[in-house]
Chain A
Amino acid sequence: MLQAPRNSHVQPLHVWEHVQKLTLCRQLLQQCCDEYGARHGIRIEIDSRHFTRAFFVWLDAISHNDDYRRRNPRDFYQFACGALLRELLHEKAVHSATHAPLQAQTPVDVASWWPAGYMLTYFCIGLLKRTLREECGLDVEPADALSQPEVWQSFRENLVEEPSLAIAYFDKFMGLEPNWREPGFVANRPACARVTRIMRPV
């Protein structure tokens, strides 16, 4: 059964501000790693150099799209957390320190089958939930796709070819309509297109 790692004791006042600070973001991720290890018995370590690179690339991505935050904050935070997942996975910011057994072809237990992807996805989901609660007053829950092993398998396979698909899969996990073609472009997000149509004068 898929369960999100509990990181309820990590309660900075404004998680969105905190996550934009390198050391604080790392602390949040470290706590998630610790909780994951306690829950699943798999030790995950952060690679400082790769994490730092992922963090700053992500900062560039969100600052580049900061105007979208004013137009559609709900979808901006969704995109931002998906982009964080993309960078953390792409840069291999974490790795499993436990020697993994011969990997199965299909994910019976996702947590063991793909520890890094599983843990980082839950980290970003936790981050999104708290950000939306604090910044937008919204409570969101993941969709059923999160508990479907075939989606995880597809996620892991496709990620090898196109890292930005992490954003699309993250949308799918949160029950949003993904933009499969160009997931890294905010302007092509379905929610962005709707906002643009609404704002366009008739």
Chain B
Amino acid sequence: METKSLLPQQLSRDISQLGIALKDCARQLRYAARNVPGPMREGPGLAHAPSHIAPARLVPPLFASPLSLESVAHLADDLLESAESFAGHAVPPLQDHWKSPVPLATLSSYLRTPRDDTKAQRKFSMSYYAAAKRMIMQCGATDVLIFEHRVSSALDDARTALAVAGEAALPPFAGSADALTALCRPCAQLALSLLDQQPIRSTRFDTLPDVSAPWWLVTEPNAYMFVLLPLASLCKEACTNAIVTEPDAALRFCADVIGAREVALRAALKERDRIGALAREIEHIVSHLC
């Protein structure tokens, strides 16, 4: 069975092994420091240090020479704590970022991300994962399963396809109609790459959704969501001042537009030249938004 996301399970296994090893090491160190007799540190000025005021946590180890072994134990304690802390932070948190509104970045910023910029890539997949899940849940679903790594792969696919088509260099968007037209094809390509990956594996609606859930979303969640999200990213670029900035409201606005153009969009997705047809439809939509 395919994992929900490659990152958490594989990494967490490695990290927990690392944590165990570090803990083991620190325990051995602590045991040795407390139980194995060793030579006391000798040095000028340190021999006079009174032994009864030597709690190692209060006195730096170098000045607490008589308790050097104890200080090693404290060092081991610190090491233990650090190891646990690092391990705790390294384990990816639960993917519940969809519970807050998800602001999307502009389309260009996603597509311009260098391939080796894993942080930016992760930001893209996380945003689209969370935005899709949030929207579907808000439409009345009780459960949604999305493979985030497929979202991430789709961005790679889109960049590859654009590079092959000689469209890798995105024009700077300067508000002109030509620049907008030039962005419609990359937008369509990203939508199609996402669609081909089918990142949404299942949605569950316990009760029949009411009007808040478009039927297209219920029947074809991948098509609906992954045409919507790239369009929302493009709108953020093309209609900076005309569309509401609140993330949920912006997505609802785009959802209304998608709903209004559903027939045309679905027809475009069935065309022989899908990308051309979808790009033309996106251009038609965006040119009449603001």
Contact = CB atoms under 8 A, between A and B. Distances in A.
Contacts of A48: 252-253, 256
Interface string A15-28: 00000111110000
Given A23-B239, A23-B242, A56-B261, A49 B288 contact: no
Given A23-B243, A55-B288, A57-B260, 15 more contacts: A21-B242, A22-B257, A22-B290, A23-B242, A49-B256, A49-B259, A52-B256, A52-B259, A53-B256, A53-B259, A53-B260, A55-B260, A56-B257, A56-B261, A56-B288
A63 B253 CA distance: 23
A151 interface: no
25 contacts: A21-B242, A21-B290, A22-B257, A22-B288, A22-B289, A22-B290, A23-B239, A23-B243, A23-B289, A24-B242, A24-B290, A48-B252, A49-B256, A49-B259, A52-B256, A52-B257, A52-B259, A52-B260, A53-B256, A53-B260, A55-B260, A55-B288, A56-B260, A56-B261, A56-B288
A59 interface: yes
A24 B242 CA distance: 8
Contacts of B252: 48
The 7 A-B residue pairs with the shortest CB-CB distance in the complex, in nearest-first order:
A52-B256, A56-B260, A53-B260, A23-B242, A52-B260, A23-B290, A49-B256
A9 B10 CA distance: 62
Contacts of A52: 256-257, 259-260
Interface residues of A, number: 13
Interface of A: 20-24, 48-49, 52-53, 55-57, 59
B243 to A, nearest CB: 7
Classify chain B: how many residues form its interface, as a range: 10 to 19
A20 B287 CA distance: 9
A24 B288 CA distance: 10
Interface string B258-290: 011100000000000000000000000000111
A52 B288 CA distance: 11
A202 to B, nearest CB: 41
A162 B95 CA distance: 51
Contacts of B289: 21-23
Contacts of A59: 288
Nearest to A53: B260
Contacts of B242: 21, 23-24
B12 to A, nearest CB: 42
Contacts of B253: 48
A48 B255 CA distance: 10
A48 B290 CA distance: 15
A24 B290 CA distance: 6
Contacts of B259: 49, 52-53
Nearest to A49: B256
A50 B37 CA distance: 83
